[in-house]
Amino acid sequence: MMNFNQAHRIAYSGNDALLPKPIRSTASLGQSARAVCLTFDDGPDPVYTPAILDVLAAYNAKATFFVLGEAAETYPQLVERIVAEGHSIGNHTYSHPHPWFTSEEIAKEEVEKTSHIIHQITGIRPRWFRPPYGRLRIPMRRQAALNNMETVLWNHSIIDWGMLGNASGIRSRLSRIKAGDIVLMHDGQREHNRPDNLLRYLPGFLASLPGKELNTRSLDDLYGFL
């Protein structure tokens, strides 16, 4: 079994060439053979985060929530609930700036402020970072490494937003989730996200997992932090 610390946790020395590679799937983890890693971005949201947490609890499913600092500050009780129900929490920046236009200074502010807010609410320093739009720009990756977080992307997007985020498209992409996938979904309503459509098919998808011998695991659980 791959040792997470050997594989990923390289102390950042200031050399960008040594920045750890982002995690895109968990297929390389021997222990994760039948695991899928569901991730929800852009929350917490006062309507959809509780609804999604209820569905996850009904199927005893575990996930990872990449929260926005701004929303976490507004809805701290939802951040507490995410952690209390056994899910992992990640940092998705404070206000979701586009990394392409983000200076060193803004990246530091956006990332550090969010980790601080999460720590204030939960007592946990987040270990996982996802840049807005999944864009890998050096200032954000560097700041994540400086704050001892792994950058986590995905290998399977449900595309629960915009024109493709209609209910039938979401259902079909949920049905194609396989072992080792890190799955991108959204509980937050920002921009064109459609957590309403996602919620229509999330229960059926979770109900289908035992038949496929798949189970859901949080990032903390998969990487041995629980």
The one among 26, 41, 87, 187 contacting Zn ion by CB under 5 A: 41
Tell me which of 92, 186, 187, 221 is the catalytic residue.
186
Query: Cα 157–128–123 angle (5° rounding)?
Result: 135
The one among 29, 39, 42, 114 contacting Zn ion by CB under 5 A: 42
Whose tokens are 């001892």? That residue is 148
Q: Which two tokens stand for residue 188?
A: 């937050």
Burial class (CB in 10 A: 0-12, 13-18, 19+), 27: middle
Q: 198 near 167, Cβ under 8 Å?
A: no
Size of the residue set binding Zn ion (CB under 5 A): 2
Closer residue to Zn ion, CB minimum distance, 42 or 221? 42
Q: Whole-number minimum distance, CB 31 to Zn ion, in Å?
A: 28
Closer residue to Zn ion, CB minimum distance, 12 or 48? 48
> How far apart, in whole angstroms, are the C-alpha atoms of residue 175 and residue 205?
7
Beta bridge partners of 83: none
Q: Whole-number minimum distance, CB 97 to Zn ion, in Å?
A: 11
Closer residue to Zn ion, CB minimum distance, 53 or 184? 184
Q: In sequence order, which ranges of the chain are alpha helices (DSSP H)?
A: 4-7, 48-58, 69-74, 76-84, 104-122, 138-146, 167-175, 195-208, 219-222
Q: Which two tokens stand for residue 124?
A: 């946990």
Q: Whole-number minimum distance, CB 142 to Zn ion, in Å?
A: 19
Report the residue number whose CB is nearest to Zn ion: 41
Per CB under 5 A, does 187 bind Zn ion?
no
> How far apart, in whole angstroms, are the C-alpha atoms of residue 219 and residue 87?
8
- Contact pattern for Zn ion over residues 111 through 130, marking x by CB under 5 A: --------------------
Closer residue to Zn ion, CB minimum distance, 42 or 109? 42
- Contact pattern for Zn ion over residues 162 through 181, marking x by CB under 5 A: --------------------
Any catalytic annotation for residue 92?
Answer: no
Closer residue to Zn ion, CB minimum distance, 171 or 190? 190
Any catalytic annotation for residue 41?
Answer: yes
* Cβ-based neighbours of 86, under 8 Å, separated by 6 or more: 62, 218
Query: Among all residues, which ones are annotated catalytic?
Result: 41, 186
User: Which residues contact Zn ion (rule: CB under 5 A)?
Assistant: 41-42
